[in-house]
Structure 1
Amino acid sequence: MSEPYIRTALPDDDEELGALDRATWSRLHAVVPKAQPPYAPFFDDKHVPGDFLVAELDRRIVGYIRLVPATSLVCNAHVRQIQGLAVGEAARGHGVGRALIRAAITEARRQGARRITLRVLGHNTPARKLYEAEGFAVEGVLPEEFLLDGEYVDDVLMGRSL
């Protein structure tokens, strides 16, 4: 498999990203119920194309990462937050997630950020290991923050300096 091509999402990516998002839905990372038809658009007022970097292989979108300001506060403008990372099943294990994280770090720096943060479910060991390998450290844990399928799951806060 070749290296993924990373680019900013375009409005025309809506349908393909929506399909990828539904295909990658899992209780390992999702706290909302699985989407059911009729499907809402992937992009909306709070989720605009410019917030997403997409990974392409052979001109097909195989992953995405969402990078946004952590809050709307001026005093927090130096922090970016990853709020979503997905990689299609066929592309997993080929460096797509790692390439997306690295691209998000580069983009956060380009935007003038000094820190990047994220939240990940405590039981999502593959994601946590990937983030740790890319320099993120656990900075806090909200114990039993979510009740998912009858199990309490921690919300793990991770971050790193840029």
Structure 2
Amino acid sequence: MVHCPSRRLTDRAERRRRSRHLRLCRNRHRLIRAHTARGRVTYRAPCDTDIQKTRSHPDNRKLAKMMVHSHDGDREQLRPLFREADDSEQQIDAYLGLGTVFVAEDDGEIIGHLQLIAGDEAELKSMAVAESRRGTGVGRALVRAAFEHCRQNAAKRLLVATAAADVGNLRFYQRQGFRMLRVERDAFVPSTGYPDEIVIDGIPLRDRVWLGLDL
């Protein structure tokens, strides 16, 4: 057999690459960093193997720089993100000041938010990600920060509600481990602040689906 030095170098590089990938996989469901600074808990975005497939992938670089932390500033500045999640200004006014809000921040820019209402059954009340950053792991990082916060505060279950017409949201939450609980009929009507004839993916907006995840 002829020993090729370049082959040995290639094999060694491949072993190092696989070793790094294994470490990333072990961290997939773990928050990398948490510390308390002035009473605010800050989380570094978790590893996501869907993003880590290619080290030079631009989404990978974006996720590595992002931080998820609790927001203690004026929530009015987050209203545009809340509007991405809810078409009713009346409803947003009612819950904007409730609970804890986490934001995903990249280079000083807020690119996503998640509002969490505490309790034995906590509720993920509102969540949205800036359109340019959707599909890059930001939503998953926000949800995992919510999981960690709920467990630290002894919540037994996390609930979330979304439109039955929004199949994308239903798919996203089930991928995070949520399971369907019930359907609330006629939740999105003019009396609760929603315009008539809102259509999502060709489906009229009428009913709300509740999902839950046992912690």
TM range (shorter): 0.7 to 0.9
Structure 1 residue ranges, 4+ long, deviating more than 4 angstroms after superposition: 42-46
- Runs of at least 5 residues in structure 2 that lack an aligned partner in the other structure: 1-58, 190-194, 198-203
Partner of 1:125: 167
From the two aligned structures, give the one with the greater helix fraction: 2
**Among 124, 136, 158, the residue aligned to 2:178:** 136
Partner of 1:47: 97
- TM-score of the superposition, structure 2-length normalised? 0.58
Quick check: 1:64 aligned with 2:113?
A: yes
Instruction: Identify if the C-alpha distance between structure 1 residues 7 and 43 changes in structure 2 by more than 3 Å, giving closer, same or farther.
Output: farther
Partner of 1:94: 136
For residues 170 and 87 of structure 2, what CA distance do their matches in structure 1 show? 16
Quick check: 1:17 aligned with 2:70?
A: no
What does residue range 97-112 of structure 1 map to in structure 2 within 5 Å?
A: 97-112=139-154
Quick check: 1:6 aligned with 2:68?
A: yes
- TM-score of the superposition, structure 1-length normalised? 0.76
Instruction: Identify if the C-alpha distance between structure 1 residues 87 and 118 changes in structure 2 by more than 3 Å, giving closer, same or farther.
Output: same
- Answer whether contact 2:163 2:205 (CA < 8 A) is retained: no
Bigger-Rg structure (1/2)? 2
- Runs of at least 5 residues in structure 1 that lack an aligned partner in the other structure: 35-41, 70-76
Query: Could you say what secondary structure the match of 2:128 adopts?
Result: strand
Please tell me the root mean square deviation across aligned C-alpha atoms, in Å. 2.7
For residues 157 and 82 of structure 2, what CA distance do their matches in structure 1 show? 26
Q: How many residues align?
A: 142
Relative CO higher for 1 or 2, CA cutoff 8 Å, sep ≥ 6? 1
Shift in Å, 1:91: 1.0
Instruction: Identify if the C-alpha distance between structure 1 residues 102 and 45 changes in structure 2 by more than 3 Å, giving closer, same or farther.
Output: closer
For residues 44 and 68 of structure 1, what CA distance do their matches in structure 2 show? 13
Partner of 1:116: 158
Show CA shifts across 1:81-125 (max 9, x none): 000001111111111111111110111111111100011111111
Which amino acid is 2:113 matched to? Y
Shift in Å, 1:33: 4.4
Identity of aligned residues (%): 28
For residues 79 and 170 of structure 2, what CA distance do their matches in structure 1 show? 24
From the two aligned structures, give the one with the greater strand fraction: 1
Partner of 2:196: 149
Instruction: Identify if the C-alpha distance between structure 1 residues 145 and 17 changes in structure 2 by more than 3 Å, giving closer, same or farther.
Output: closer
